[in-house]
A and B are shown apart, each in its own frame.
Chain A
Amino acid sequence: QSALTQPRSVSGSPGQSVTISCTGTSSDVGAYNRVSWYQQHPGKAPKLMIYDVNERPSGVPDRFSGSKSGNTASLTISGLQAEDEADYYCCSYAGTHTIYVFGTGTQVTVL
């Protein structure tokens, strides 16, 4: 099972919006709504930002939103802030054989 495909990097100025794509297949992203997103600052543990495609855990700012179309999920950060600069990973349930697959990761830079 290959990792989900994400862009290596995206960037934006403070206040702008950026969108990170996460492309899988009809066996993972396209088949299930168990897509989650994680934020990871350097040297730190990942933090859950989105689950079930578009649900936010308590405490996550509503600037973060998720969506899915076909085999591609997306994370949008609106009103970009300096503290949003981090690596972001998507993850999808992939059925009873592969179970879970993570994305390749995207570095978000705030210009």
Chain B
Amino acid sequence: EVQLVESGGGLVQPGRSLRLSCTTSGFTIGDFAVTWVRQAPGKGLEWVGFIRKKAHDGTTEYAASVKGRFTISRDDSKSIAYLQMNSLKTEDTAVYYCTRGYCSGGSCYFADAFDFWGQGTMVTVSS
């Protein structure tokens, strides 16, 4: 069974840092891109960023709202992906989901969709 489990959320002051983890099982994480999506309380979904699989150089892409502050990494040997969040702002308050990138065919440099999601972890940025 494919599973993704986020952890590391909590309450943090503005300007501080937090690292989220996405622990996966039931599939070989090395064969997939991992994407982070967030949802502010009562709001819609927002794409945060993703990391490609090693076969695609493991490069990353980020939304403009987090670029330069957030960093995604992966440790395929541990089946874990990470979201390092620095210089946090109150507007970063959200549930953060990690997802698996799905490709129907082709090079898959960019995923077609996000087929499995974790349950999410809440990050609250407040003084």
Q: Which of A13-21, A47-55, A78-86 makes up part of the contact surface? A: A47-55
Verify A102–B46 contact, CB threshold 8 A.
yes
Chain A contacts of B117 at CB under 8 A?
45-47
Verify B120–A91 contact, CB threshold 8 A.
no
Distance (whole angstroms) from the CB of B106 to the closest CB of chain A: 10
Of chain B, the residue at the smallest CB distance from A93 is B110
How distant is the Cα of A28 from the Cα of B55 in the complex, in angstroms?
26
Q: Count residues on chain B whose CB falls below 8 Å from chain A CBs.
A: 23
Verify A55–B97 contact, CB threshold 8 A.
no
Number of contacts between A and B (CB, 8 Å)? 65
Interface readout for A88-103 with B: 1 if CB under 8 Å, 0 if not? 0101010000111111
Distance (whole angstroms) from the CB of B26 to the closest CB of chain A: 15
Verify A89–B112 contact, CB threshold 8 A.
no
Chain B contacts of A57 at CB under 8 A?
102, 115
Apart from A48-B116, A99-B50: 6 A-B pairs, beta carbons within 8 A? A36-B112, A36-B114, A40-B45, A52-B112, A91-B47, A102-B45
**Contact among B61, B64, B118 for A45, CB-based, below 8 A:** B118
Verify B61–A51 contact, CB threshold 8 A.
no
Verify A52–B104 contact, CB threshold 8 A.
yes
Distance (whole angstroms) from the CB of B56 to the closest CB of chain A: 14
